[in-house]
Structure 1
Amino acid sequence: MDHEVSSSALGAVGATGLSPLDLFLHASIVVKLVMLGLLLCSVGVWAIIAEKIILIRRVNREATEFEDRFWSGGSLDDLYESDGARPTHPMAAVFGAAMGEWRRSARIGGIDLSRGGVRERVDRAIDITIMRENDRLTRRLIFLATIGPVAPFVGLFGTVWGIMHSFASIAQMHNTNLSVVAPGISEALFATAIGLVTAIPAYIAYNGLSNSFEKFTDRMEAFGTEFAAILSRQSEERADDTTGGKA
């Protein structure tokens, strides 16, 4: 007798189906909304991951090409006119901000970066530009940081609701057979699975991308420091030449 009950219960579960589509279609409206919300978040997560991976590769490649031109020994004024005046990537923006401030200071009172005020303005222009470019590069990463810890709890909410729905079915039908309990529990667990599938890539990608962007920020800061030192040396050399000429 017990064997017959178990067989009929398993047959009913098989008829309901345990494929993802069947689990979604037979879920309650609340669990369906949870699943749909998590699926939409998952699509957003993967879109941001793809965008940021392409972005970090592009800006690193453009930075390398720019640094090659910068260290090639060409004129800084020519490089400013071609890249710095209207920058199209972060490294050129850092160069353009420093060079632009340096040129403005030269027009106002002569090139003398040994004066603290000019040096501070150049350093501040570099720092502000790096901060602005970093904010632009890391935009929407906060979405990954939010989805990572939140999605499992949203899926858990769907799980709790599905289990509550299963117990309600038991109470209404006065039947504890597997055919009554299994579908609701399966749908509930499926909501948790979707939450984990959404959260895990978001969490891993956020940490990996954040590390990549931090390294690129360090690269911009190193370039800015080197360029400020170059401008300082050039100003000192011109000041020495001017002093020697007067003598």
Structure 2
Amino acid sequence: MDRSVTATPLGQAAADLSLWGLFLQADWVVKLVMLGLLFASIWVWAIVFEKVTSLRRANKAADAFEDAFWSGGSLDELYRREGDQPTHPMAAVFATAMREWRRSAERVATSDFVAAGVKERIDRSMALTVQREMERLERWMIFLASVGSVGPFVGLFGTVWGIMNSFAAIAGMQNTNLAVVAPGIAEALFATAIGLVAAIPAVLAYNKISSDMARFAGRLEGFAAEFSGILARQTESAVSPARSPAPAAE
């Protein structure tokens, strides 16, 4: 008599194999795993949207800046327009180099030792700025990598936990009917599915965004190298009069 009463709700539970039904019927540990993975998936997509938007905006700003830089206009005018509050990474690299070059410009003509170190200081300041700007752009990238590598294992933990509970319930009921076994196993596998849903986009997005960021970092480094050469030539032209020998007395 008791067995027939117990079989009715189990039959009803077995019939509800929708995603929401599987979630409601799952153990509380499996529910926590599912909720954590769903939250991670939402966060992954938010990060992807932010990174794609930031890179697109940075590349567009860099295109406009390079057009102005190579147009032949005055560097001082460009610095007044972009240097006070740089709004994108390439302008920040330019402003850093200009500030360092201006600080050294007054002393270059009277000190060969200072002139020899100007290029090194400019290169170091631009390299640090590139590194700082890329670190800002790469923020939260470690989260994408973590979800991509750990997500499937977290889902697998939920699956193992759910199957353990299902087998324990089956052993207690002493009933191996497929209608009794299927719901518990389906609930457990649902956790693995959510883990893959979170991990696969995270891995794909991490690889694509990392490639785009490496390309943008190379663009910044290329601009820094070209600008360093321009400032070095201007520094040499400022120092050359001081180095020229005085005319011989007649």
Q: Residue 139 of structure 2 aligns to a residue in which SS?
A: coil
Instruction: State the distance in 2 between where 1:102 and 1:32 align.
Output: 60
**Which ranges in structure 2 are unaligned for 5 or more consecutive residues?**
1-6
2:53 alignment partner in structure 1 = 54
How do 1:219-234 residues align onto structure 2 when only pairs under 5 Å count? Answer: 219-234=219-234
- 1:108 deviation in Å? 3.7
Tell me: CA distance 1:53–1:113, structure 2 relative to 1, closer, same or farther (3 Å): farther
- Contact 1:113-1:232 at 8 Å conserved across structures: no
1:141 alignment partner in structure 2 = 141
- 1:46 deviation in Å? 0.4
- Contact 1:101-1:122 at 8 Å conserved across structures: yes
- Contact 1:113-1:236 at 8 Å conserved across structures: no
1:4 alignment partner in structure 2 = none
Instruction: State the distance in 2 between where 1:159 and 1:76 align.
Output: 62
Deviation string, structure 1 residues 121-142 (Cα, Å, up to 9, x no partner) = 0010010000000100000000
Instruction: State the distance in 2 between where 1:108 and 1:48 align.
Output: 47
1:3 alignment partner in structure 2 = none
- 1:245 deviation in Å? 11
- 1:246 deviation in Å? 6.7
1:117 alignment partner in structure 2 = 117
Mean CA deviation greater in 62-71 or 114-123: 114-123
Aligned letter for 1:72? S
1:218 alignment partner in structure 2 = 218
Q: Residue 190 of structure 1 aligns to a residue in which SS?
A: helix
1:170 alignment partner in structure 2 = 170
Deviation string, structure 1 residues 76-100 (Cα, Å, up to 9, x no partner) = 0111111023211100000001111
1:12 alignment partner in structure 2 = 11
Tell me: CA distance 1:174–1:14, structure 2 relative to 1, closer, same or farther (3 Å): closer
Give identity over the alignment, percent. Answer: 57
TM-score by length of 1: 0.90
- Contact 2:107-2:114 at 8 Å conserved across structures: no
- 1:110 deviation in Å? 3.7
2:38 paired with 1:39: yes
- 1:114 deviation in Å? 8.7
- 1:14 deviation in Å? 7.7
- 1:15 deviation in Å? 5.3
- Contact 1:151-1:195 at 8 Å conserved across structures: yes
- Contact 1:144-1:202 at 8 Å conserved across structures: yes
Deviation string, structure 1 residues 155-205 (Cα, Å, up to 9, x no partner) = 000100111111011111111111221111000010000000100000111
Aligned letter for 1:163? I
Instruction: State the distance in 2 between where 1:209 and 1:104 align.
Output: 37
- Contact 1:27-1:187 at 8 Å conserved across structures: yes
- Contact 1:156-1:192 at 8 Å conserved across structures: yes
Query: RMSD over aligned Cα, in angstroms?
Result: 2.3
Q: What count of residue pairs does the alignment treat as equivalent?
A: 239
